Structure 1
Amino acid sequence: MELRTAALIDAPALADLGVRSFAEKFGHLYRPEDLAAYLGEYHSPARVAQEVADPRMRVMLAVDGDHLLGFCKLVMDCGWPEHARGRKVIELKQLYTDPGATGQGIGARLMGWALDEARDLGADEVQLSVWSGNFGAQKFYARHGFGKIADIHFMVGAQRDEECLFARLMA
């Protein structure tokens, strides 16, 4: 497995992995129309291509040859400024792995990249949101120095999910 920066040509594969990963983990929670609306808005190839091209975003891929194993997105803006404790806060937007490749250390490699990148960018805090019922992800983030700082919500179509805002101060 190697890490490499995403390019525009990767947008369709990123969109596909985003849809598969989200639907596999969370699809059962939503009405089909809410899930379809969310996936169509946030995981379309066009949307992903915009993110890859956005200079305020960094997208890193975990690949094995031509096979996309996972990805991580960092946004150079603070997603929840009302909860910021730092002066330069960035957001870890998504850290997804292929559903068939979970448990192979992909998430840890991508998280290592994200924290190194945050330091290199001069961030003093990294924020991320995680579904309140995703205890495995919460444990993963805690192992990497993140802790819960607030209760927030996240919309999937018309459904409101209760989320936890996690953050890590970068010392």
Structure 2
Amino acid sequence: MILRPAGSADAPALARLGRDSFVAKFGDMYRPQDLSTFLEEAYSEAAIAAELANPQRLYHLAERDGALVGYCKLGLVCGFPEHARGKHVLELKQLYTAPGQTGGGIGKALMDWAMAEFAARGADEVQLSVWSGNEGAQRFYARYGFAKVADVTFRVGEQLDEEFLFARLI
């Protein structure tokens, strides 16, 4: 597996992986119109290109045999300031693996990179949101010292999902 920073040329592959991963894990939770609206807003090539150009975002990719198998997106500003306990709070925005690739060490490699990046940038707290029903992800983040600090929501089209805000002081 190769880990590397993302560049603008990665937008099509990131858009495809983001869509495929989201639909595989959560697609059946939404009405078709809500899902379609969300996917266009969040995972169109244009949306991903804009995210890659945003100086407050940082993407890192995982590749195997030349194929994108996962990615991690960091927010370099506090995503939930009303729940911040630290002075320099950063956010783990996404950690996705390709469908069928969970459990192969991709998430661990990306998470290890993310935690090192947060430390290098002087973060004293890291936040992330996770769907309330995604117990596997919650266990994964708990292994890194994250714990629930608040209830939050996440919008997909017109649907509001119940999420948990997890955080860890560094």
Shorter-chain TM band = over 0.9
What TM-score, normalized by structure 1, do the two folds share? 0.98
Whichever residue aligns with residue 29 of structure 1, its letter is M
The within-5 A match list for 1:1-171 is 1-170=1-170
Gap regions ≥5 residues in structure 1: none
Gap regions ≥5 residues in structure 2: none
**Identity across the alignment (%):** 60
User: 1 CA distance for matches of 2:63 and 2:31?
Assistant: 32
Question: Helix, strand or coil for the counterpart of 2:115?
Answer: helix
User: 2 CA distance for matches of 1:162 and 1:2?
Assistant: 34
1:65 deviation in Å?
A: 3.4
Q: CA RMSD in A?
A: 0.7
Residue correspondences, number: 170
Whichever residue aligns with residue 71 of structure 1, its letter is Y
Whichever residue aligns with residue 24 of structure 1, its letter is A
1:150 deviation in Å?
A: 0.2
What TM-score, normalized by structure 2, do the two folds share? 0.98
Whichever residue aligns with residue 126 of structure 1, its letter is V
Question: Helix, strand or coil for the counterpart of 1:112?
Answer: helix
1:66 deviation in Å?
A: 1.9
User: 1 CA distance for matches of 2:165 and 2:30?
Assistant: 21
C-alpha distance after superposition, 1:70-123 (max 9, x if no partner):
000001111100000000001100000001211101000000000000000011
Whichever residue aligns with residue 24 of structure 2, its letter is E
Q: Where in structure 1 do 4 or more consecutive aligned residues deviate above 6 Å?
A: none
